[in-house]
């Protein structure tokens, strides 16, 4: 094990011991090793002012709050998670930042339960590889998208040095195909990440 891998292991074990497994996962999403340029990622997935966006696996708002600022007062971000504690933290952070356009949604493992069926985009950041039922989730997610809208998957790429538990493009493409989606890459300035757009057939 090299020094970097050993350091990551020590950080993970320390967080699990201090916070418990669920909270440790949320904390890890915010560590510097994610190396995500959020602004360029939002550009890559076509996030614009005024959009209505759903986010699945939102946690405590790592990507949610920047999206809420980008879509502005005319837009809305529906932040979904199955972890109520994380969503409570997200609500507190949004309130602190004066972001009234964030609405939290408690979902299910196979269905985000967004409250509307005309979303312009659904985003999953650093979370899709943790989904227990990705195909079922993708199938159920279709009903929340307006015609022509897409699901954006943003995650570290195991083919570019990420740990093996992250999912490769081919694995995500397999799930997308089974769920009835067409997959395409989104160009961006995040070389360590996959940024993929899934559009229902």
Same domain membership, residue 81 and residue 46: yes
> Does 77 share its domain with 9?
no
Q: Cα(106)–Cα(104) distance, rounded to whole angstroms?
A: 7
The pLDDT score that the predictor gives to residue 191 is 87
Confidence (pLDDT) at 65: 98
Task: Using the structure block, give the residue that is written with the tokens 């929340």.
Answer: 144
Tokens coding 117: 């069926």
Same domain, 96 and 180: yes
pLDDT at 119: 98
Say if residue 65 is in the same domain as residue 87: yes
Q: How many domains does the chain have?
A: 2
User: Do 21 and 82 fall within a single domain?
Assistant: no
> Is 164 in the same domain as 104?
yes
Contact 171, 160 (CB under 8 A): no
Question: Does one domain contain both 189 and 149?
Answer: yes
Model confidence, pTM: 0.83
- Domain range spanning residue 91? 36-200
Residues 9 and 69 in one domain: no
Alpha helices in the chain (DSSP H): 3-19, 21-28, 38-44, 64-71, 84-96, 134-141, 169-179
Residue 172: give its domain's CATH number: 3.40.50.150
- Give the three-class secondary structure for 76: strand
- Identify the pLDDT of residue 35: 79
| pLDDT per residue of the chain (201 residues) written in tens, 0 to 9 | 333 333 344 344 444 455 555 555 554 544 444 679 999 999 999 999 999 999 999 998 999 999 999 999 999 999 999 999 999 999 999 999 999 999 999 999 999 999 999 999 999 999 999 999 999 999 999 999 999 999 999 999 998 888 888 999 999 999 999 999 999 888 777 889 999 999 999
First to last CA, the chain: 43
Q: How far is CA 67 from CA 47, 105, 173, 178, in A?
A: 8, 16, 25, 29
Do 41 and 81 sit in the same domain of this protein?
Answer: yes
Do 24 and 43 belong to one domain?
Answer: no
What pLDDT sits at residue 22?
Answer: 52
Q: Tell me, yes or no, whether 23 and 97 share the same domain.
A: no
One domain, residues 103 and 82: yes
For residues 39 and 66, the answer to whether their CB atoms sit within 8 Å is: yes
């Amino acid at each position: 094990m090299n020094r970097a891998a050993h350091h990551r292991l020590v950080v993970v074990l320390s967080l699990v011991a201090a916070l418990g497994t669920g909270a440790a996962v949320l904390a890890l999403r915010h560590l510097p090793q994610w190396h995500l340029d959020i602004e360029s990622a939002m550009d890559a997935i076509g996030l614009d002012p005024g959009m209505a966006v759903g986010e699945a696996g939102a946690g405590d708002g790592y990507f949610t709050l920047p999206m809420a600022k980008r879509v502005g007062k005319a837009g809305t971000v529906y932040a979904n998670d199955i972890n109520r504690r994380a969503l409570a933290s997200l609500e507190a952070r949004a309130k602190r930042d004066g972001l009234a356009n964030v609405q939290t949604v408690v979902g299910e493992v196979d269905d985000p339960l967004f409250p509307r069926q005309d979303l312009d985009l659904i985003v999953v950041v650093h979370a899709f590889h943790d989904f227990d039922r990705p195909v079922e989730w993708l199938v159920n997610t279709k009903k929340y998208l307006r015609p022509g809208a897409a699901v954006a998957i943003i995650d570290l790429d195991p083919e570019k040095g990420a740990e093996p538990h992250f999912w490769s493009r081919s694995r995500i493409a397999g799930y997308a195909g089974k769920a009835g989606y067409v997959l395409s890459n989104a160009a961006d300035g995040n070389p360590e990440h996959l940024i993929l757009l899934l559009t229902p057939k």
